[in-house]
Amino acid sequence: MMCFIIVQIMNMIKRNNFKLFDVGESLYVFLTGSQQVMKVTNSQMSRYFNAAMKGMDSVPDMDENIAAELTKELIELRDSVVIKDTPSSEFEQVMLTLNTTHGCNMACRYCFASTDNDRRKVMPAKVARKSVENLLMQYPEAKRYMIYFFGGEPLLHKLFIKDTVAMVKEVFKDKQDKSFGFLINTNGLLINNDDLLEFFKKNNFNVTVSIDGPEEINDSNRVLLNGSGSFKMIMRGIEALKKAKVNFNLRATISPMVKNLLEVFRFFESLEAPYAYSFTIITDKKNKKETKFTEEELRALGKQYAEVTDFLADKVINGEKVYCTDFIERLSILEHRWLRTHGCEAGRSALIVDENGDYYPCQNMLPMNVWIGNVEIGVDKELAEGYRSQFIDDLWECRKCWARYLCGGGCQADRRMYKWDFPDDTPQHCVISLFEWEQTLKAFVKIKR
């Protein structure tokens, strides 16, 4: 982190190119593009940035020439960073998600995957094989290929998973310059035997278990088919993974029903296992009360998230291990001043195929029926281009946002679910991303000073 020692700034830098924030009694500024965090060290700097925040063309009581020179320096800082798109041919690692089944042994209230109750079949072996072969042809320059079992609940079809792993090994056996790996997303209910745990270990699986927090919070949404809670069964699965020393992580979905965010994060930190989180995606296939936050709920969520980042920052300051991978990643982005030019890998280095052999840009777009091809004919490049995550500088609705190179534009499914009705509209996923990044900036300063 740097300190600005010179006396003033700009004539005027636009407010979409910086973010003012305070930590205790001190004022700081984040500079968009150069991704630098600076301390505002004097009153003239403070006046300058506050004037810029108001969209003013000049700063009261500041010499115009000095302000113009400072603006020039800031713009040069920003423009010294080359921001470009990444061609798909440059990806070293790509991922294929096999939507093993739409069937599930749970009925989570916010989950759009379990709404199509008639789609219970398992993916045919020939679809899985063709998908893997196509992946190699589509991304010939990649070095590592990840196969991700998804659903529904993929462990309803353990034999399919075992057969697919054997098939992948066969396909790759003569490709010495390439490697592969396996991931699976599960609700944890069927992690119940030593044979499965040994299979995961032997094949270096990374297992993601979905759980939303302590029992009361988890069971308010994540229920069994008979409506009863799932927490105790999920925890048994997690303990089995721990005992068997299988690589695993946890994932929480935060819905409008969560009223104490800090309690959720304290719970996950107490488990001492890596975890990530996401907020519910608004969907027409569910009651929006289960997926969409009201304005009042979003304001409360922002305040609660400040408590969460204070809690996590204090752990870092005290030398304690933090298990929230999202928080750690955001701190790394700020530390290294990385630029995110895309919000996600939808249609870029990641594809999903369903039981019918149809391709989609990502698993979150499955319920939207965003078809982009089939394993028999391949991916329709023109269709895929229309649905893939876009280069951040091409997104008109992001150009006025100070956090655009931190966020990268967000989840493509979120973007498609939301209808941009007018230019100044701010959707739920943007509101959440903005308070996440502002609070992470504050945590970053606290940790560094």
Sheet holding 373-374, edge to edge: 275-279, 248-254, 206-210, 179-186, 144-150, 93-99, 350-353, 358-360, 373-374, 378-379
pLDDT in tens, 103-155: 999 999 888 665 445 446 899 999 999 999 999 998 999 999 999 999 999 99
Query: Identity (one letter) of the amino acid at 130?
Result: K
Give the per-residue pLDDT at 6. Answer: 32
Rounded Cα distance between 378 and 343, Å, is 25
The top-scoring range by mean pLDDT among 32-36, 66-70, 326-330, 340-344 is 326-330
Determine contact, residues 433/298, Cβ cutoff 8 Å: no
In the three-class reduction of DSSP (H, G, I as helix; E, B as strand; rest coil), residue 392 is classed as helix
Residue 349 has pLDDT above 60, yes or no: yes
pLDDT in tens, 43-54: 777 888 888 888
Provide the token pair at 142. 């990649």
Instruction: Please give the torsion angle defined by the CA atoms of residues 238, 239, 240 and 245, in that order, rounded to the nearest 10 degrees.
Output: 90
Give the per-residue pLDDT at 87. Answer: 59
In the three-class reduction of DSSP (H, G, I as helix; E, B as strand; rest coil), residue 275 is classed as strand
Q: How far is CA 188 from CA 149, 157, 210, 251, 417, in A?
A: 14, 14, 7, 11, 29
pLDDT in tens, 286-311: 556 678 889 999 999 999 999 999 99
What's the CATH fold of domain 93-449? TIM Barrel (3.20.20)
What residue spans define the domains of the chain? 2-81, 93-449
pTM of the model: 0.89
